[in-house]
Structure formats: structure tokens, C-alpha cells
A and B are shown apart, each in its own frame.
Chain A
Amino acid sequence: DAGVTQSPTHLIKTRGQHVTLRCSPISGHKSVSWYQQVLGQGPQFIFQYYEKEERGRGNFPDRFSARQFPNYSSELNVNALLLGDSALYLCASSWVTSGVGNEQFFGPGTRLTVL
């Protein structure tokens, strides 16, 4: 079975541009979360979506937005890119939003470089 997939694998942008990152969850998973991982740090929570609704938001500026589609895939959008947005962006999917069995399955990530 396919795991969580993300596209693109790598991306290079310049300051001020915007970027769209895509995620396809494991089949049957209705919850998708996004994380940002700066080099040398643990992943930081950005958003969680469940059944196409935002269910959680981390401490990120409004330049960051996301949405979930009827097929449960998701997009993360970042506007007005800054050098500090350079990071590995991880997508994770799970069966439910919370609960003891809420194991999250992570994709390989999208490496974003902002020049």
C-alpha cells in the first residue's frame, strides 16, 4: 500500500514568491497535518485538517494557509516567502483527529529552499 506522498520533493524559490506544496494521505485517512522542520530542529506543527475543516493551527503567520480537498488530499500555501521559510515541510495523515490510537504517518517531506 502507498504511504503518504508529497510533491514536489525539492523546490527552490526566491524571497517574495509564493509556493504550494501537496500531500496525498494514506487511503482511508481523513486527517492531514502539516509540519515545518528547520535544519537541526524537531518538526513544528503548522495545521491540521479533518474532513476538510481546519481543526488546529500552530504559531505561524497568516502567510501560511492550507486546505483539504474532498478526496482528503491537502495543499499548504506559503505567500511572500522569507529566507527563514527554508525548511523541510512534512505532511502526516491519520485515521482520526485525536485519541489514543492516533498514530500519524509521515511523508518524506518537501525540501523548500528560499534564496
Chain B
Amino acid sequence: DAKTTQPNSMESNEEEPVHLPCNHSTISGTDYIHWYRQLPSQGPEYVIHGLTSNVNNRMASLAIAEDRKSSTLILHRATLRDAAVYYCILRENAGGTSYGKLTFGQGTILTVHP
């Protein structure tokens, strides 16, 4: 499985934007970039995913570099409820042998200050 690299921790103030970076220099052409987050005492939660184009949903935006070797998860206005561990994960597209497996790294611990 392709590897991702994320900062161990980041801090933000409430209601400010947060940009969470992820490096994935060995990404293959068929790998999708997924983001999950894990709030304290809960299971991981899907945030967003994309392939080449930037993506937006109700939770966040995903900006993908043109060469796809890095991406950034953007929380437009951080709230205290966004404090969590954020995981950047590469997943093979349909037909790959990874089936449903998610390969989690260490993730980024996001702290949001009031």
C-alpha cells in the first residue's frame, strides 16, 4: 500500500480555517485519496475523498496537487467539535487486491482552541 506522511499535530483557533497537509509521493495513478477522522472515544468517520480534482462536501474540501503527490484537507471554519485525529489514506480503485482495506498511518492530531 502506498504510504502517506502527515504532521503529528496541528493547532487552530475556533472559527478559523485549517489546512491539514498530506504527502503521498508514491501514489499510483489508480489510488484514491481518502480522509477519515477519529473523534475522542469514537470510531473513525469518513470525511472526503478524491482522485485528481478538488472536491467539496458539507464537512470539508480536498485540494489535490496537480502531480497528485500531495493533498490538503481544508476545514473552512474549525469548531471545537472538529478536534480529532485526521487520517490521510490512499485506496486502490475497483479491481485492486486491497478490497475494503484502509491502511491508517499515525494521522494528525488537530487541537482547536476556543
Contact = CB atoms under 8 A, between A and B. Distances in A.
A90 B44 CA distance: 9
B104 A42 contact: yes
Interface stretch (B15-23, B76-84, B95-103): B95-103
Interface residues of A, number: 29
Given A33-B100, A33-B101, A104 B93 contact: no
A97 B99 contact: yes
Chain B binding surface SS class = loop
B43 A98 contact: no
A107 B43 contact: yes
B49 interface: yes
Contacts of B92: 98
A92 B46 CA distance: 11
Interface in B51-104: 51, 85, 87, 91-96, 98-104
Contacts of A45: 101-103
Given A92-B100, A98-B96, A104-B100, 18 more contacts: A31-B100, A33-B100, A41-B106, A42-B85, A42-B106, A48-B99, A58-B101, A90-B43, A90-B44, A94-B100, A98-B95, A100-B51, A100-B93, A103-B49, A106-B44, A106-B45, A107-B43, A109-B43
